[in-house]
Structure 1
Amino acid sequence: MEEIIKKYTPFVIRTARSIYVKGQETEDLIQIGKASIIKAVNMYDTERENAFTTYVFNTVRRTLYLLIRSSVKDAKCCSLQSLNNEGFELIEALAGEEDIEEDMIKKEEKAMLANALRKLNEQEKEIIYWFYFENRRLGDYANLKGICYKAAGDRKKKALMKLKKCLEGMNFNGSI
């Protein structure tokens, strides 16, 4: 029996170190694992298809995992209305649906975009607003202004390049 326990002790140690059970030291877990090796030796059926090593590994794991499950069941349940160390209810500490940091980043990006749009001339602003903010067709813009479609496309491209340079100058790296 000592030889068998000695052979499987490294596995027990590795497994015991990889788990945490409240109130149990690693040495305690190792002893429980060794005891489960003895249990496996006594309960192993030689007529089984499983190898003895597999049976021992599974027995050790199951014993330690059962210990984890039982320690979790013993944990005291608490209410969301319970007070934490600072005196606040736990429900207040839970994260909300809104992401304040993400909202602040978006506000900054929008402010940068508005600032960059102010640097465009009237003709450039007009085509950007027409196409992107009002979601209208470029062909309709060309007809309204009495210019060809290609000229409208060139205006849009020029305005976008200027806008991009302004945003890069502000270290804008968002995706509005």
Structure 2
Amino acid sequence: MNIKLAKEGNKEAIEEILDSFKMFIIKQCNKIYIEGYDKEDLIQEGYISLMKAMEKYDEAKGPFVAYGTRAIVNNYYMMIRNRAKYNGTTSLNRSNDENIELIDIIEGNENIEEKMILKEYVKEVIEAIADMNDNDKKLIIDLQVNKISGKQLAKELGISYVALCKRKERALRKLKAKLEEK
């Protein structure tokens, strides 16, 4: 996923990013109901919010995956809040356009404590990466977040694949040490 190319208007990069978020958007659409919107409308809104996120994304703020997912979820919540002004009361047994009752859309088996712990851990990882030197930070983000292959990145950096692997191991050890300090 190359966000730089997408921001420059490269259609292949944009489609790759949109495709990588497809299942996430569909999953989010299955969780919500907004009167007047069917599933296809909600999916389209998800793609629109992702496109806006691509335009506004600043690489210095952290990985795009986190930024994009948050943008999508925030947009859906904003749509719900905006429609709430116009919605009346309803029953949880009311069916939507796909004959699914609202009660069936509500997730009830979530472990909020685990979600909060994971959220805090992700925040710590992002902070630890931000504290690293630029070379290590770029290496981890390119390999782990942007999913650039090791061979491709080694070629771009003008080093051997073995040297790249050693740099990666060293950077990950530093990251692990930073996380253990906290």
Category of TM-score, reference length = shorter chain: 0.3 to 0.5
Which protein, 1 or 2, shows the higher relative CO under an 8 Å CA cutoff with sep ≥ 6?
2
Computing the radius of gyration from Cα coordinates, the structure with the larger value is 1
TM-score by length of 2: 0.40
